[in-house]
Structure 1
Amino acid sequence: MTNPKLISSFRLSSLLRLQKDPKLALQLFQNPNPNTSQTPPVKPFRYSHLNYDLIITKLGRAKMFDEMRQILHQLKQDTRISPEEIIFCNVIGFYGRARLCEHALLVFDEMPSFRVQRTVKSFNSLLSAILKCRRFDKMREVFARMEEDGSADSCSYNILIHGCVVNGKLKEAWSVFGAMLRRGLKADEVTFGTLIYGLCLELRLKQASKLKDDMVRVYKVRPNENVYASLIKGYCDVGELSLAFRLKEEMVRNEMEVDTAVYSTFISALFKAGRKADAFGVLEEMRENGCKMNIVTYNAMINGFCNERDFEAAFKVLDEIGENGCKADVISYNVILGGLCKEGKLSEANDLLEDMPRRGCAPDVVSYRILFDGLCDGMQFKAAASILDEMIFKGHVPRTASVHKFINGLCQVGDMECLWTVLSTLTRGNVIDYETWRMIVSTVCKENELSNASELNKILIIP
């Protein structure tokens, strides 16, 4: 009987690419030739660099970090292989997306033990990972190491500038920008786009517009779509729609693509300004230019109709989303829930919350909080108690201020039966605080109701 042909490392790479299930891919990697029984025994499988790269990537994307670390340990022991830096850049990136900053730092520090020379690529991967983890103190520390050995490049500075902007430290971002120029590094559209985005966040629109002009005049860098999108959103946020439209026209003249996000910004701003007809005009222009509506556009329209109290139109848009091959998200429903509660249409809001799972969208903590607050504001305490019970059962936590308002309302109307039910629910969910206890005890003592004190004592000793 002839032995089956052994799988080569080249063939293993092809099989790993085809295997979608990371667990099965791992089994294949660990035992590529399971059905061989040769005498003398088959030599250990000789993995290639590509084999390791493929399996590490699959495990990292699947967040199977324990298994990924095992493969990395095997790679370290496999002295025939000289790993490429890109493998570790990817691993650091996986840890960054999973908010595992310390793991990313550890991999970076261990790279020399894998016979890998660290360059600015792995430094930048680490900076990006730390940024995703929002560890700005560590980011500065790592960047300082790069500056000391002179390895920081334009990308490094861009990442640090982004970190400063995200952290709300725009002044520090400008300082980093100045240091970048002093180093003789060239600022690009990413650099300016990030700084302009930061200025627009703080509504410093004159400075943002000036920087856009300086990009071309002083730095010879052409503004890209992101620069225009930030400025347009900024002007829309402050109601300067004429300036925002002027920027859109400039984009068209410069043969730039006006994308769905920009159109959605205009639609939202026009509804907010009470210019519904103009919003529909923008929507028509969007369709004529072949720009497909996405969920952001639909949600902007839903929000606009809800602000106008036109819930029939809002529900019509909600139905159209599915018909046009898109899918409503929880934000779509929460916007309508908020609008209905604001108008006191609590029964309709409750019906919508119950209908969400049937429509293929499970309510989230925001959904429950919106309805709970609305019912409390409408003095519908029994219905609010029911929603509170369902919310806590599903692992969601109400806002502390909302609970205090609810308890205070129950105490004022003297609905002790509902109060005990709510107190039991809060205790069961372990979401009761000192202030809530104080309010209840104060009410019990004020009323001097011994039976109520007895009920309170029972709840207090619940294990």
Structure 2
Amino acid sequence: MKTPKPISPFRLSSLLRLQKDPNLALKLFQNPNPQHPKAHKPFRYSLLSYDLIVTKLGRVKMFDQMEQILQQMKQETRFDPPEILFCNVISFYGRARLPHRAVQMFDQMPSFRCQRTVKSFNSLLDALRRCGELPKVREIFMGMENYVNPDACTYNILIKACCVNGSLDDAWVVFDEMRRKGVRPNVVTFGTLIYGLCVDSRLKEAFKLKEDMKRIYGVKPNAFVYTSLIKGLCKIGELSLAFRLKEEMVTNKIELDAAVYSTLINALFKVGRKGEVSGNLEEMSVYGCKPDTVTYNAVINGFCKEKDFEAAFRILDEMVKNNCKPDIISYNVIIGGLCKEGKWIEANDLFEDLPRRGCSPDVVSYRTIFDGFCSWRRFKEAIFILEEMVFKGYGPYSASANKLLVGLCEEGNVEDLWKALNCLVNAKENVVDLDTWGLVISIVCKMDKLSNAFNLVDTLSALNAVN
């Protein structure tokens, strides 16, 4: 039998790039030639294969396995790992809300024979910002100048941290320091500040900054700047100015995106101008801007608020027709609207039809339909959903759970009350408040069913102990 040709380092990189399953990719990396006679010899891994497997593992938060690969890479002497690899690892930890690991990776970089530049400092600052570690962000920044000079990206991260934290005054302080240090602000700098001002409804300052960025700094506003301003205007009901800004984008040849139209469509429904929505959807195609799921969801949400559920379902059909698959948000909005209007049968039909439509119900789906049943006193249906919800590891909103128990107490339905409480014992969180506990026990006692009362006390005690 012919011996199979061994996988080369180059071939391994190609196979890793093609492998979508990170677990299979890891197995392939760890043992690229399991059947070959020379498999006992050390494999000469390339830098590219290390980069590929680290990236695959980091993206799916397989951090322990990723760390093992990094430690293996540390032993390599044929190459020095590049800084960008560690920047990516630090970013993975930031997105996973693991600030300590991000700092640890940054501190370990010299042991990998990798010199830290402003790029890795920026990666660490941004990871800490994502984790809400603002004091640590300031600490790192204050000591940063002992090693590298901050650049525009550094200051942009600091400004964003301030804006996200609602500290616009601090953001302006950072902006002033940036200019004082001779670092030129760019479109990201202005976009972040304008976004923060619009969120805070300081539109006059936001428009002034838009003019200053062009007149003083020679920086042209981009789509993000315009979208922030349009959202700010829609927020205060200034639709005419918002549409004027959209036309300005066309004049300045700034590509319109779905976010702009989604914002305008939401605003049109809000002020009762739903008749203009279809025209905006048609206009999108004129400008080569294809409606996405967010755009369609804005339309669905608007129709549901108008109680026009037939139109909402038509939008679902239109999405499928236009090769834009509805997501779970699309369905949850309709389910929620139907429940609110007491159309619980239609809501439940749609909920049960989700798998056929290629969309699995999520925790919001379950909580929405459960709350709908409780609100309209469909307690048996609510308990059925509760059992399925808890089985899947989800839990109801506290208000909904208490609504169910109070309703069952009012009806004197001890059997269903018992079922509901047994479900809630297995829920991950305690969602029953003390007042409801007291009501449950008192109602059962009044019905002179002491054995049940004692059982309920035991169940409620278990509920308290578990949660």
> Same fold per TM (> 0.5)?
yes
**TM-score, structure 1 as length reference:** 0.91
Alpha-carbon distance in structure 1 between the residues aligned to 2:35 and 2:411? 76
Aligned CA distance change for structure 1 residues 27 and 414 (closer, same or farther; 3 Å): closer
Post-superposition Cα deviations, 1:33-58, rounded to whole Å, max 9, x if no partner, equal: 556657xx997444443343333233
What are the Cα deviations for residues 177-217 of structure 1, in whole angstroms up to 9, with x where unaligned? 22212222111110110111111112222221121112112
What is the aligned counterpart of 2:181 among 183, 187, 190?
Answer: 183
* Paired position in structure 2 for 1:365: 363
Conservation of the 8 A alpha-carbon contact between 1:330 and 1:361:
yes
Report the CA distance between 1:122 and its aligned residue: 0.7
- Summarize deviations over 1:130-181 as a string: whole Å, max 9, x none: 2333333322222222144452211011012112222222222222222212
State the 1:94 CA deviation. Answer: 2.2
Q: Could you say if the C-alpha distance between residues 55 and 378 of structure 1 is closer, same or farther in structure 2, counting changes exceeding 3 Å?
A: closer
Match of 1:440 in 2: 440
Cα displacement string for residues 287-338 of structure 1 (whole angstroms, at most 9, x for unaligned residues): 2222111111111111121122111111111122122111111111111112
For residues 347 and 18 of structure 1, the distance between their equivalents in structure 2, rounded to whole angstroms, comes to 46
Q: What is the 5 A alignment of 1:62-211? A: 62-211=60-209
Mean Cα displacement is larger for which, 399-408 or 445-454? 445-454
Once structures 1 and 2 are overlaid, which stretch shifts more, 426-435 or 321-330?
A: 426-435
Partner of 1:393: 391
Match of 2:270 among 260, 269, 272: 272
**CA RMSD in angstroms, aligned pairs only:** 2.7
Q: Secondary structure at the match of 1:214?
A: helix
8 Å contact kept, 1:100–1:133: yes
- Partner deviation per Cα, 1:397-449 (whole Å, 9 max, x = no partner): 11112222332233334333332222222123253545132232233445554
Range with bigger deviation, 294-303 or 443-452:
443-452
* Matched residue type, 2:347: A
Distance in 2 of aligned mates of 1:381 and 1:28: 52
Which deviates the most, 283-292 or 424-433?
Answer: 424-433
Q: Residues 93 and 127 of structure 2 are in contact (CA less than 8 Å); yes or no, is this contact kept in structure 1?
A: yes
Q: Is the 8 A contact 1:16 1:54 kept in 2?
A: yes
Q: Which residue of 2 aligns with 1:260?
A: 258
Matched residue count: 461
The corresponding residue for 2:324 is: 326
Equivalent residue in structure 2 for 1:383, among 381, 384, 392: 381
CA contact (8 A) 1:75 1:81 kept: no
> Against the structure 1 CA distance between its residues 6 and 383, is the aligned structure 2 distance closer, same or farther, given a 3 Å change threshold?
closer
Instruction: Tell me the residue number matched to 2:235.
Output: 237
Indicate conservation of the 8 Å contact 2:401/2:432, yes or no: no
Equivalent AA in structure 2 for residue 437 of structure 1: W
Which residue matches 2:420? 422
> Helix, strand or coil: the match of 2:136?
helix
Tell me: CA distance 1:82–1:208, structure 2 relative to 1, closer, same or farther (3 Å): same
Out of 186-195 and 260-269, give the one that drifted further: 260-269
Deviation per residue, 1:68-104 (Å, 9 max, x gap): 2222112222233222212211221222233322222
The range that moved more, 199-208 or 226-235, is 199-208
Aligned 8 A contact 1:97 1:129 in 2: yes
Which consecutive unaligned segments of at least 5 residues does structure 2 have?
A: none
- Quote the Cα distance in structure 1 between the aligned partners of 2:40 and 2:371: 69
Judge conservation of contact 1:369–1:398 (CA < 8 Å) in 2: yes
Conserved 8 A contact 1:314-1:336: yes
| 2: CA distance, partners of 1:58 / 1:330 | 26
Change (3 A) 1:437 1:52: same
Which stretch shifts more, 422-431 or 323-332?
422-431
SS in 2 for 1:129: helix
Change (3 A) 1:329 1:48: closer
State the distance in 2 between where 1:25 and 1:395 align: 29
CA deviations over 1:220-244 (Å, ceiling 9, x no partner): 2211110000111111122110010
Q: Distance in 1 between matches of 2:277 and 2:290?
A: 16
Give percent identity, aligned residues only: 62
More displaced 10-residue stretch of structure 1: 208-217 or 118-127: 208-217
